Every structure is written in structure tokens, then in C-alpha cells.
């Protein structure tokens, strides 16, 4: 019995003999297909519809490839500059800080003024021995009004002797207020108040304190000294000479009274008497 013959057709894609629904050589479909757009019959392996032009062959469902977005690579040399830039900024900041400290120090600036507001042992005329610099002095609020005024007076005088004019201007108003709270003032307190006003540049106030002292005691040495200093700074040489003369005339008798303020301001008195004698020999 003869087996039925197999009917072959030519594959529309690879031109090889093929049978069945798909080509055994390339896998192309051998079945009749229609255009999905217009329904027109298409020959096997057709890529486009002959009626409407729609793509129907292999690859019709594959979207056109898109070029990947181009990313601009970061250059390594730019990345490597970032740490160096940060280090440079830090170095400049450190140098600026050191330069600022040096500048302030050369001007005699006292940036520790708030810290100095607390009186410390060793910085007033009643301190007996050096004190550990790491130990802070007592809180000024714990002192009596007189102690507070005394400490501020000493602070202003020390700062003035060190040429720290900015700190003198900072503390002088505080010191003057402290003395005003002691009213009525005696001659010693008025002298302190006048000296604070003097170094702070308030010469009229200093002279007013001297006049008040001398009004109550015309030969008081501290009143004569303060009046002479104020006259000198006010450019009044004749009055300065007159107060110097009165100082020398009253020196012995006044020192004999042993007033407590004379002992406290012994250095001021000795210096003023020496200056008065020197000025007298030049005339």
C-alpha cells in the first residue's frame, strides 16, 4: 500500500522546501494571515500589508530601539579637587583666627572683658600673695557694696596701667555706679571715683570730685592730687602749679593725721609729691 505523498511548499523567508504550519529551517509561519488593520489577505512571510502599508511581518510588535541616554561622566580630576578645597578653606579660617588674635593683642584689646568682670584675687591692692590663675575669684554679687566698688576701682586702675583702654571704658561706668551706691561718699571714696573718671576721660567729673573733697577739707592730700591731675589733663598749667604748691605745703601736717586713705594711696601721694618738687625746682 502506497503512503500518501506529503505536499511541500517553498518557505517565503528562506526559500527552503517546507510543510506544515511553520518552516522547519527558519521557523517562519506558512499559514495564511490577514492584515490586522484592514483585513486584507497576506502572503506568508509578508512584512507589510499590500493594501494599507501596516507592518505585519516579524518585528512588527517590537518597538524601535531607543538610544540610551548619554550620561556625562564625572571627571576624576574634579572629584579629587573636592577634599583639597575643603582643606584649603579650613586652613584659611584657622589663619584668619590667629591673625585676628594677634591683631587684638597688638592693640592691647581685652576680649576677655566679661570674664574680667568677676574680681579675682591678686588683681586688687589688698591681695597678699599670688593665686593659682586657674582658680576664679569670688562672684562679685557676693561682695559688699564697698568691696564691689574697691574691686572695680582696682580693676580699672590695673587695666589703665596696662594700656587696655577698651577695657577701661567697659568697666569705668560699672565702677562709677558702684561708688554712687555708697553715697554719702567720704574723701577716700570720692578720690577713687575721681580717678576712675579721670582715666575714662571724664575730666570734668574728676575735677568735680576733687573740688568736693577740698570744699570739706582744703588741705586734703588726695583732693589736691586729684585736682592737680585734672588741671594738667585739662591743659590748665597755672592751676596745676597752684595745686602742686598747696600739696607740698600741706604734706607733713596731713600725713601726721594718719588718715586711712593716705595709707591706702601711699604710692599716689609719694609720686605726686615727687612730681611737685621736681616741677618746683624747674620754675
Q: Under a CB-based contact definition with an 8 Å cutoff, are residues 121 and 127 in contact?
A: yes
User: Considering the chain, what is the average pLDDT of its residues?
Assistant: 75
Q: Under a CB-based contact definition with an 8 Å cutoff, are residues 213 and 226 in contact?
A: yes
Higher confidence at residue 83 or residue 173?
173
Higher confidence at residue 138 or residue 280?
280
Q: Under a CB-based contact definition with an 8 Å cutoff, are residues 10 and 17 in contact?
A: yes
Q: Tell me the pLDDT tens digit for each residue of 117-164.
A: 444 434 444 333 444 555 454 466 688 999 999 999 999 999 999 999
- The top-level CATH class assigned to 113-127+137-282 is mainly alpha
Which regions of the chain carry the CATH code 1.25.40.10?
A: 113-127+137-282
Q: Does the pLDDT value for residue 250 go beyond 80? A: yes
Amino acid at each position: 500500500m502506497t503512503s500518501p505523498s506529503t505536499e511541500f511548499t517553498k518557505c517565503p523567508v528562506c526559500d527552503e522546501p517546507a510543510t506544515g504550519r511553520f518552516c522547519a529551517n527558519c521557523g517562519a509561519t506558512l499559514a495564511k494571515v490577514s492584515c490586522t488593520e484592514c483585513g486584507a489577505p497576506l502572503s506568508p512571510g509578508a512584512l507589510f500589508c499590500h493594501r494599507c502599508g501596516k507592518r505585519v511581518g516579524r518585528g512588527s510588535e517590537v518597538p524601535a530601539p531607543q538610544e540610551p541616554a548619554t550620561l556625562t561622566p564625572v571627571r576624576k580630576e574634579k572629584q579629587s579637587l573636592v577634599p583639597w578645597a575643603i582643606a584649603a578653606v579650613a586652613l584659611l579660617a584657622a589663619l584668619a583666627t590667629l591673625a585676628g588674635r594677634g591683631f587684638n593683642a597688638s592693640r592691647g584689646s581685652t576680649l576677655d572683658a566679661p570674664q574680667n568682670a568677676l574680681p579675682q584675687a591678686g588683681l586688687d591692692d589688698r591681695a597678699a600673695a599670688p593665686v593659682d590663675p586657674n582658680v576664679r575669684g569670688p562672684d562679685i554679687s557676693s561682695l559688699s557694696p564697698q568691696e564691689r566698688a574697691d574691686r572695680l576701682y582696682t580693676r580699672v586702675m590695673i587695666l589703665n596701667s596696662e594700656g587696655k583702654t577698651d577695657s577701661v571704658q567697659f568697666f569705668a561706668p560699672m565702677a562709677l555706679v558702684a561708688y554712687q551706691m555708697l553715697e554719702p561718699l567720704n574723701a577716700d571714696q570720692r578720690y577713687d571715683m575721681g580717678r576712675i573718671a579721670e582715666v575714662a576721660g571724664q575730666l570734668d567729673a574728676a575735677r568735680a570730685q576733687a573740688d568736693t573733697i577740698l570744699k570739706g577739707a582744703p588741705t586734703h592730700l588726695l583732693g589736691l592730687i586729684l585736682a592737680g591731675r585734672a588741671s594738667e589733663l585739662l591743659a590748665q598749667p597755672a592751676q596745676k602749679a597752684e595745686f602742686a604748691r598747696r600739696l607740698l605745703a600741706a604734706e607733713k601736717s596731713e600725713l601726721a593725721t594718719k588718715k586711712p586713705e593716705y595709707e591706702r594711696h601711699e604710692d599716689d601721694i609719694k609720686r605726686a609729691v615727687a612730681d611737685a618738687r621736681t616741677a618746683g625746682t624747674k620754675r
